[in-house]
Copies of this chain bind each other. A is one copy, B any other.
Amino acid sequence: MVTGTREALIDAAAQLLDHGGAEAVTLREVGRRAGVSHNAPYKHFRSKEALLASVAARELREHSLGLSGGSPGATLRAAMHDYVAWALTSPARFKLVFGAWSVESPDLAAAAGSAHAVLVDLVAGAQRDGELPAGDAVRLASLVRALAHGAADLAAAGHLAADGKGNADPQHLVDDLLAYLRTVAQAPGTR
């Protein structure tokens, strides 16, 4: 009984998300797994959407740790690979975190803001190292992130490996983009 039922509700929701996707998360089943009535969640969250926002915030916070201490370029590459692996391993959680948020959650917004700041820093560091072309770091970070997001989302939905020959693996696409960008950074005439 040390955990508190609030945390137990979040646990149950995340568990259901992994098991049967978003549609498997019902407040009634969440309550059942947490050992309370189907109604108890309303004493901790304003709505089902608010509970899901808390799940998303915790998920995003947990994934924001553990950036190993290599070069900015290597760390950026690892982070984008993690991003893609996240979408493939836990597609329902991924969609919850990076889909549209139907509820205002300062918690979730703060976690997203700090993740964004880390990414921009990595990009700026890689630019300094000559591994990425110069220019607005926010814009370039958005480019890299959008590629990783698109590859991850398409792969998770089964829309990437069109011919099964594996020439469009999402991780390969991340590597391709970073390699192209390094080529641009080191081409003559860049400043």
Contact = CB atoms under 8 A, between A and B. Distances in A.
Interface string A143-169: 101111111111011111011010110
A100 B94 CA distance: 13
A146 B139 contact: no
Interface string A74-115: 000000000000000001000000111100000000001100
B150 A100 contact: no
B139 A168 contact: yes
A184 B157 CA distance: 30
Given A142-B173, A149-B154, A177-B177, 8 more contacts: A116-B162, A138-B163, A140-B176, A142-B167, A145-B150, A146-B151, A146-B173, A153-B153
Interface of A: 91, 98-101, 112-113, 116, 133, 136, 138-140, 142-143, 145-154, 156-160, 162-163, 165, 167-168, 170, 172-173, 176-177, 180-181, 183-184, 187-188
